[in-house]
Amino acid sequence: MENPMQQFKTEFFKALAHPLRIQILELLTEGDKSVNEIQSSLGSEGSAVSQQLSILRAKNIVVGTKDGKKVIYSLRDPKIADLLAIAKEIYNNHLIDTISILEDELDETEKSEQ
């Protein structure tokens, strides 16, 4: 049985589990943006961006604030930017480990061919 924290984490990470949502969040780490700014930065269709923003809003990951006729989106919690940066570090560490394994295998192959 999941406790409330585990349930929150499960739902939170499900909300992040889409490439376009991650791209949107990465853009918003640079500062608040309107839907049009997000669309043009990503080169994505308006309906796709709006759909993903709706999901992020529903999960309280982003907030939208009316500015005249525009809605300006921002990260609800600045720690989301930290989370994305940590995910990048984990990815880089994974690549470093993979490169190291491949280099070791290459060294072994070269030794066995000599």
Q: What global pTM score does this model have? A: 0.81
Domain hosting 63: range is 1-76
If one counts every other C-beta atom within 10 angstroms of the C-beta of residue 14, the result is: 11
Q: What is the DSSP letter of 29?
A: T
DSSP 70-94: EEEEEESSTHHHHHHHHHHHHHHHH
CATH code for position 67: 1.10.10.10
Q: What is the rounded (10 degree) CA torsion for 30, 6, 50, 64?
A: -60
> What distance in Å separates the CA atoms of residue 114 and residue 108, rounded to the nearest whole number?
10
How many degrees, rounded to 5, is the angle at CA 29 between CA 95 and CA 46? Answer: 100
For residue 21, which amino acid is it?
A: R
The neighbouring-strand residues paired with 63 are: 74
**82, 27: one domain:** no
In this prediction, residue 1 carries a pLDDT of 66
**10, 33: one domain:** yes
Digit-by-digit pLDDT tens for the chain (114 residues) are 679 999 999 999 999 999 999 999 999 999 999 999 999 999 987 799 999 999 999 999 999 999 999 999 999 999 999 999 999 999 888 888 788 788 878 777 877 777
**52, 83: one domain:** no
User: How many distinct structural domains can be found in the chain?
Assistant: 2
